[in-house]
Amino acid sequence: MSNIHATAVIGSGAVLGEGVAVGPYSVIEDDVVIGDRTVIESHVHIADGARIGNECRISSGAVLSTAPQDLKYAGEKTYLHIGDRTVIREYVTLNRGTKASGKTVVGSDNLIMAYVHAGHDCVIGNHVVIANSVQFGGHCHVGDYVVVGGLAGVHQFVRIGRYAMVGGISRAALDVPPFVMAGGHASFRYEGLNVLGLKRRGFTPEQIGNIRDAYRIIFQSGLLLSTALETVRRDLPPTPEVVEILDFFASGVYNRKFLKPFNS
């Protein structure tokens, strides 16, 4: 049985799973699906197109799956997908997608703190921690196990690779490769490996050493990026971490701009 407060407004077409709780004055529109045991606190607005998983917790004032803030959006049917066990704190806003991809995606086991905004067509992975008041432009891609510090602004189309950490109050206008730390406002730049985060996630000294060797060549050798990547490919063992780094730099249909070396 669901536990729905008498003042909540639930659309006739909404599908709520077993054990869903909906707090006072929340509004859930018609084309919404919410998984089992998800808790929706007071004054939450969940608009058409939301697909929310099991055992999520959505705090007061959150506004989810509203129309994209994009002048090209023409009312096409799009979605917001949220995985399981994700916590969405107060006044978070997550827009649904546009025809570019059809959906905005937030994975499972994430903590999205108060006042975060994720724009249309963003893809946020699993086990991600996003601190207070982070703002993502449209089409951002955030890998698994990423941490983004409070008040950071992430430019549209920016990609943040797995296990990376972005410092607070950063102006993230460049792609952040996997496994690194990046930060800065006037000059957003590479600040070394996310060693503590990697150790906490069970990376071995050998794995961390291979990652460090790759980034020493990429960021500190003085080689052109294309030459540095070829050197990594030639000189380092093709471990999964090294291959992931190379793939990250090789991928993308846009004219990618990457972090600068920390000593540049």
Known catalytic residue: 30?
Answer: no
Catalytic residue among 23, 53, 138, 161: 138
How many CA atoms lie less than 13 Å away from 253 in the CB half-sphere?
A: 1
Q: Is 235 a catalytic residue?
A: no
DSSP H or E run through 200: helix 195-200
Residue 262's nearest CA partner among 196, 158, 187, 195 is 187
- Using CA atoms, how far apart are residues 176 and 193, in angstroms rounded to an integer? 11
DSSP string, 26-82: -EE-SS-EE-TT-EE-TT-EE-TTEEE-TT-EE-TT-EEEEPPS-TT--S---EEEE
Cα distance between residue 203 and residue 56, in whole Å: 28
Of 48, 70, 84, 121, which is the active-site residue?
Answer: 121
Task: Check if 75 is active-site.
Answer: no
The residue written with tokens 């077409």 in the block is: 13
- Active-site choice (43, 81, 117, 120): 120
Query: What SS3 class is residue 242?
Result: helix
Are 90 and 69 a contacting pair, CB within 8 Å?
no
Q: Return the active site residues.
A: 120-121, 138
